[in-house]
Structure 1
């Protein structure tokens, strides 16, 4: 018989030096679907595990400011939890060079929690000594000395995102310039250089979803080379957008009225991206608009 025992509760303890990036890591984890708790009283960790709710993985942030923060006691508690079959415990330590931390505090003019009226660097050194046992104990240590914020975000995503959560939500839309620009487009392609089916007898009342219009646009000598370049560009930049932490990407194709050239181009782009393994949503903003000669000037 298959094993029907419940999955262990996934718990990620996130700690590290103040200013190194703990809050950023927790925000990314929350975006990835983790339940993120910052400055959680670590002595209550056992009660949290015993609550029995393991629906979501839990990321718990704590540092020297957390009530009851005693590294030796925290490590002892972690050892107890690691011995349990119903818990999967991982510790992430966010580190950073002292000089860089000093620069960050001076730049933001925030007070270091352990400086207590002394220079920032004194507080950093004191906190580093306090946290050293946890750094040695941690399963994963990430040094953010040379990281920009988006680089730390990327590291956290790469380590803790499920495969199904790594992909951006991609929307491909069509629209008509004559009826207004889309407000949220990240990448916009103007297809008005193509021959306009609106002025072709028998095609005006049809749309880019209809075969005769599709054949007319595809037969334009300018379509294939331009469209192929657009697809090459998308294949080049989409992984880079994902690596920068983009959760949503909006790609828009425009023509004059939003009923022919842009519709066909959006559909073709979605078809190619599906073949590449993406799952784009396609929206046609002006597909239901009435054909109007006064709008179709190009």
Structure 2
């Protein structure tokens, strides 16, 4: 029987993850005291309840004293156990807490950011022991569910690196978080074709225009080769999230077409999760149509 410890930062999606494991047929327990973990796991393994596995939610609320030793003990007994650690950047966690208006467990009498930093410090040992690390900072709830299903139901390999391919328009500002940034304003611009101006790079006619002179294909080949060279090295480094920014003038045509094509190529890479985000795709259409 599989035992999964679901842990990580408060606000990173642990509740969503536990609900998904319940849907997968796992027996789920949240906020189990550390003192009970070892006995609970052994009793569960010996049970005949026909469960696919057990998912335990353990985080800062459970109290972490002694957890390090409990995990080592369970691994020494060669129990089929995995630690899933969910995290997100400070800005995302702050935004989520403000949206839900909940109090952080370590910031009841102080600033939210101080509680987040303290929690990150206290969970560092658990992150270091994790078998899988998922950065949910740019994930929608449905995307987190899709990734969990791909890993734990469909058996997709996942080595802790989640890649976001982000298209954007320079006229709306450069995104704050890309690790790699590429400017595709050298490619043919469908904006100057009246029939394509109000369409997007998701449509075949626009993508065909962007790829019409061969430069886009050459660029994509070189970009694909470089990123596939970097991915295993980022994984070895322990990086859990990679954001690749693709920019054009308005974020509507060229960057969208290239980002979509790159995402299709990265989907074939084993051991990573990939998502596509078009930050500015609709903005330029609204601006032009409103003239």
Q: Which of 277, 280, 290 is the equivalent residue of 1:283?
A: 277
Distance 1:256 1:245 in 2: 34
TM-score normalized with structure 1 length:
0.49
Residue 226 (str. 1) matches residue 222 (str. 2): no
8 Å CA contact 1:10–1:88 kept in 2: the answer is no
Matches within 5 A, 1:41-80: 45-46=38-39, 49-50=42-43, 55-56=54-55, 60-62=67-69
Matches within 5 A, 1:133-282: 153=128, 157=131, 164-277=157-270, 278-282=272-276
Q: 1:58 to 1:255 in 2, by over 3 A?
A: closer
Distance 1:167 1:184 in 2: 18
8 Å CA contact 1:184–1:250 kept in 2: the answer is yes
Gaps of 5+ in 2: 6-13, 19-28, 59-66, 82-123, 133-150
- Over aligned residues, Cα RMSD in angstroms? 4.6
Q: 1:45 to 1:196 in 2, by over 3 A?
A: closer
Distance 1:8 1:253 in 2: 40
Q: 1:47 to 1:252 in 2, by over 3 A?
A: closer
SS in 1 for 2:177: coil
Q: How many positions carry a matched residue from both structures?
A: 188
Q: 1:9 to 1:202 in 2, by over 3 A?
A: closer
Q: Which has the larger radius of gyration?
A: 1
Gaps of 5+ in 1: 1-6, 12-29, 64-73, 91-148, 294-298
Matches within 5 A, 1:82-161: 88=79, 153=128, 157=131
8 Å CA contact 1:175–1:258 kept in 2: the answer is yes
- Kindly state the Cα deviation for residue 257 of structure 1 after the two structures are TM-superposed: 0.2
- Kindly state the Cα deviation for residue 179 of structure 1 after the two structures are TM-superposed: 0.6
Distance 1:264 1:180 in 2: 19
Give a deviation string over 1:143-192, Cα, whole Å, max 9, x none: xxxxxx9xx95x9749xx99745242221121001011112212111111
Matches within 5 A, 1:5-16: 7=1
Moved over 6 A (4+): 51-54
TM-score normalized with structure 2 length:
0.50
Distance 1:201 1:189 in 2: 26
